[in-house]
Structure 1
Amino acid sequence: MLVYFKKNLLPALCLALVFTVSCSKKSAMDPETPIVPTPEKKGIQLATDAKFGTIITDKSGKTLYFFSSDAAGIPTCTGGCETVWPLYYSADLSSDTRVNASEVGEVTRTDGRKQSTYWGYPLYYYQNDAAAGDVKGDGVGGIWFVAKPDYSLMLANAQLVGANGKSYTSTYAEGTGNTNYFTDAQGRTLYAYGPDKSNKNTYTKPDLSNNSIWPVYEAELKELPSVITKDQISVIDVFGKKQMTYKGWPLYYFGSDTKRGDNKGITVGGIGTVWPVLTPTSIAAPVN
């Protein structure tokens, strides 16, 4: 009887083994559970930072920066500056579907090298950012800022040149030297109107007939350079347009500033008195 049991057990064990191997092979080759490779990141990426929100990085997650002196869209960080702030360039289009391709570009530097841009701002690394996620370069000198896609305002650090072709300092005296002043996110200069009152536009006509001369700066309050805070910003209604203000000063463009970086409006009506640029240290608009 024991011999009979062994003779019948052996075929059964073999059958079970064959079935197990067959199932294992089927499971490993099951087309319903394919192994999907992680797509390679290319070009600039968007990342989330606890302090700055959405920021722009390279494909490995290293933070990229805007330089206020590049407000005109021309790279001005050269020589020793470039040692601390190496340029960023990628010929690849961004693989991040959240990035608007129309906002990404490139510029050719004077030495022939190419540099990637966002909103026309050349992009840089910061030498002291050791790892992905570091944001140590923001605010350096009050002119370097984390690159972001959602700034409501930016800062230029550039020479003032009036409509008369003369150069002016930050005190509106004739001479050379950069002034740190506000622009929109694409480097277009913003102005205040001297007669305005706190959060009160006194220039724009109800029919908007003069809005093409000094257009109101229409913008929602989103993100700001770290040297200013949101409590300094308001948005007022001006005959159906939403105009941003800084320290109570309504903000305007000058219609004759034909390109980013132009600041010709400072000499209209008087040098730096009727249509001055605004800086982080500008005094608040008068209430009355």
Structure 2
Amino acid sequence: MKCYLIQSVWLAATVACLPVLSCKDDDQPQPESKEMGILIQTDATFGAVLTDSAGMALYFFSRDADGNTACEGNCRSMWPAYYSSHAAESEGIDPEDIGTITLADGALQTTYKGWPLYFYANDDAPGEIEGDGVGGNWFVAKPDYTVMLVQHQLIGGDGALYTSDLTPGEGQTRHFVDSYGRTLYGFVQDRYNTNNFTKPDFSNNSVWPIYESAIGSLPSVANPADFAEITVHGRTQLTYKGWPLYYFGQDAARGETKGVDFPQAGIWPVLNPDSPEALAP
């Protein structure tokens, strides 16, 4: 009888301890939660690139110059839109660079610096970047592009449409923009790496502001050797094939090309990989 009582007491004590042991397990350090949103990853070929939280590469489309998606219909099956409500939450991502657009079907798509973001269907695993350069229109998304290449309809300041040779008409023209989609121009009276427009006091800089930028990341179709930096009255201006690069002061939004016919077509052309080199001084 005594043995039975002792055994019962021992069993009760053992059972009573079990919840306590379980509680101690709950207090053990837990794995850190997975990072959310857009990540900046380093790729051996492309350098700093943007990915989703799982490491899948994100892309820009050159036809999205105005910040709206031009990828519709069958395009969507190969280039699915990226969206995350947590896009701006990761380290290194400036929340000011993150936006959202609404697609025709009501779905949402995240933008970075105004560029809608996409996946590439043929990227099968994190770290793959197979979509860069596809069709000459798709480029891996990067946080630090100096220039980007777009393919867009040129529309002058009076609303007239222009082709790539700056004659009136409809047609897509490839040309360089800055990282936020603002159009860049050359000036026909400039010479190789020589700015002949900007006054020493910059009193005319509001009309055609110089593009003040050092050389950074470039789209894969651009030749880094074609870019240089010059000093213009104490400021740095980026050049392409010897052409000093400018904005047009009246281009108020990304994708606008009002400068192509100011004061007439051909004086301030847009530039692309097919543009000739500037003339020697």
User: Same fold by TM (over 0.5)?
Assistant: yes
Q: CA deviation at 1:236?
A: 0.6
User: Distance between the aligned counterparts of 1:112 and 1:240, measured in 2?
Assistant: 49
Matched, 1:276 2:269: yes
Q: Which residue of 2 aligns with 1:46?
A: 40
Of the three residues 68, 76, 80, the one matched with 1:86 is 80
- CA-to-aligned-CA distance 1:108-136 (integer Å, 9 cap, x gap): 12322110010010000111111111111
Matched, 1:75 2:69: yes
Of the three residues 197, 220, 235, the one matched with 1:226 is 220
Q: Which residue of 1 aligns with 2:194?
A: 200
% identical aligned pairs? 48
- CA-to-aligned-CA distance 1:50-73 (integer Å, 9 cap, x gap): 011110001110000000111111
- CA-to-aligned-CA distance 1:173-227 (integer Å, 9 cap, x gap): 2111110100000000000000100000000000100000000001111100000
Q: Which residue of 2 aligns with 1:18?
A: none
Matched, 1:179 2:173: yes
The RMSD of aligned alpha carbons is: 2.0
Work out whether residues 89 and 95 of structure 2, in 8 Å CA contact, stay in contact via their aligned partners in 1: no
- CA-to-aligned-CA distance 1:217-253 (integer Å, 9 cap, x gap): 0111110000012211111111122100000100000
* Distance of aligned partners of 1:113 and 1:72 in 2 relative to their CA distance in 1, 3 Å threshold: same
User: Distance between the aligned counterparts of 2:31 and 2:61, measured in 1?
Assistant: 37
Work out whether residues 45 and 94 of structure 1, in 8 Å CA contact, stay in contact via their aligned partners in 2: no
Of the three residues 80, 86, 103, the one matched with 1:109 is 103
Misfit runs of 4+, over 3 Å: none
Aligned residue identity for 1:278: L
Matched, 1:151 2:145: yes
Q: Which residue of 2 aligns with 1:119?
A: 113
Q: CA deviation at 1:93?
A: 4.0
SS at match of 2:106: coil
SS at match of 1:69: coil
Of the three residues 99, 103, 122, the one matched with 2:93 is 99
SS at match of 1:156: strand
SS at match of 2:135: helix
Q: Please say which of residues 191-200 and 90-99 is displaced more in the overlay.
A: 90-99
Of the three residues 238, 243, 265, the one matched with 1:244 is 238
Work out whether residues 168 and 175 of structure 1, in 8 Å CA contact, stay in contact via their aligned partners in 2: yes
Matched, 1:164 2:158: yes
Q: CA deviation at 1:269?
A: 2.8
Aligned residue identity for 1:167: L
Work out whether residues 87 and 110 of structure 2, in 8 Å CA contact, stay in contact via their aligned partners in 1: no
Q: Which residue of 2 aligns with 1:254?
A: 248
User: Distance between the aligned counterparts of 1:170 and 1:214, measured in 2?
Assistant: 21
Work out whether residues 162 and 168 of structure 1, in 8 Å CA contact, stay in contact via their aligned partners in 2: yes
- How many pairs does the alignment contain? 261
Q: Please say which of residues 84-93 and 208-217 is displaced more in the overlay.
A: 84-93
| Structure 2 unpaired stretches of 5+ | 1-23
User: Distance between the aligned counterparts of 2:188 and 2:39, measured in 1?
Assistant: 42
User: Distance between the aligned counterparts of 2:234 and 2:267, measured in 1?
Assistant: 25
Q: CA deviation at 1:36?
A: 4.1
User: Distance between the aligned counterparts of 1:266 and 1:257, measured in 2?
Assistant: 11
Aligned residue identity for 1:105: G
Q: Which residue of 2 aligns with 1:16?
A: none
Q: Which residue of 2 aligns with 1:136?
A: 130
Larger radius of gyration: 1
Aligned residue identity for 1:234: A
Q: Which residue of 2 aligns with 1:62?
A: 56
User: Distance between the aligned counterparts of 2:81 and 2:111, measured in 1?
Assistant: 10
Alignment of 1:19-34 (within 5 A): none
Aligned residue identity for 2:280: V
* TM-score normalised to structure 2 length: 0.89
* TM-score normalised to structure 1 length: 0.86
